[in-house]
Amino acid sequence: MAIKRFGVSLDSNLLEELDRIVSRDHHPNRSRAIGSMIKKQIIEEKWNSDEIVAGAIVIVYDHNKKELHEHVNGLQHEYHCLILAGQHIHIDEHNCLEVISIRGKAYKLKKLVDKMNAIKSIKHVELVMTGTD
C-alpha cells in the first residue's frame, strides 16, 4: 500500500503525550504510533457494529469447582460456530487459563463474553479485540 505524507498540527502538550507513547510502546517513530492509534479506533468501531471481527477471550478459573468447569465447557459448545480454537493451560495446582480464539459478528461475540462474565465465581474474563484491515 502506498505511503502518503501529511502535516499534523498538535498542541504542544499533545505532542509531548504522543512522544511519551512512542517511547513507552517502543514505536520506531511518531507515524507508526499514530497509525497504531487509528487502527485501534477502527477495530473498536468494528466491534461496535455488526461486522465480522476476531479476537480472543482469556479466562481464568478454578478447575476444582466442577460446575464451573462444566459451565465454561457448555458455553463453548453452545457457541461452537464462533470459536476457532481453544487452548487450556493448567497454570498451577488449582487454576486453569483458557485462551479461546473467536471470530464472527461482533454482537454475537460480545454476547458470549457477557455470558462468560456472568458465570459465578469465574476468576477473570478478558476480551482481546482485534480484526483485519
Q: How far is the CB of 116 from Ni ion (least distance, A)?
A: 16
Q: Restricting to residues 94-123, which ones interact with Ni ion according to CB under 5 A?
A: 96
Instruction: Please identify, using beta-carbon distances, which residue of 65 and 105 lies nearer to Ni ion.
Output: 65
Task: Kindly determine how many residues on this chain lie close enough to bind Ni ion according to the rule CB under 5 A.
Answer: 3
Distances (CA, A) of 112 to 16, 55, 124: 40, 12, 14
CA distance 36 to 28: 12
CA distance 22 to 57: 28
- Greatest CA separation for the chain: 59
CA distance 109 to 103: 7
Distances (CA, A) of 37 to 17, 25, 108: 13, 12, 25
Instruction: Please identify, using beta-carbon distances, which residue of 86 and 104 lies nearer to Ni ion.
Output: 86
Q: How far is the CB of 95 from Ni ion (least distance, A)?
A: 7
Q: How far is the CB of 94 from Ni ion (least distance, A)?
A: 9
Radius of gyration of the chain (CA): 19
Chain position whose Cβ is nearest to Ni ion: 96
Instruction: Please identify, using beta-carbon distances, which residue of 30 and 63 lies nearer to Ni ion.
Output: 63
What single-letter amino acid sits at 34? I
Q: Restricting to residues 63-92, which ones interact with Ni ion according to CB under 5 A?
A: 63, 90
Q: How far is the CB of 69 from Ni ion (least distance, A)?
A: 8
Q: Restricting to residues 8-67, which ones interact with Ni ion according to CB under 5 A?
A: 63
Site residues for Ni ion per CB under 5 A? 63, 90, 96
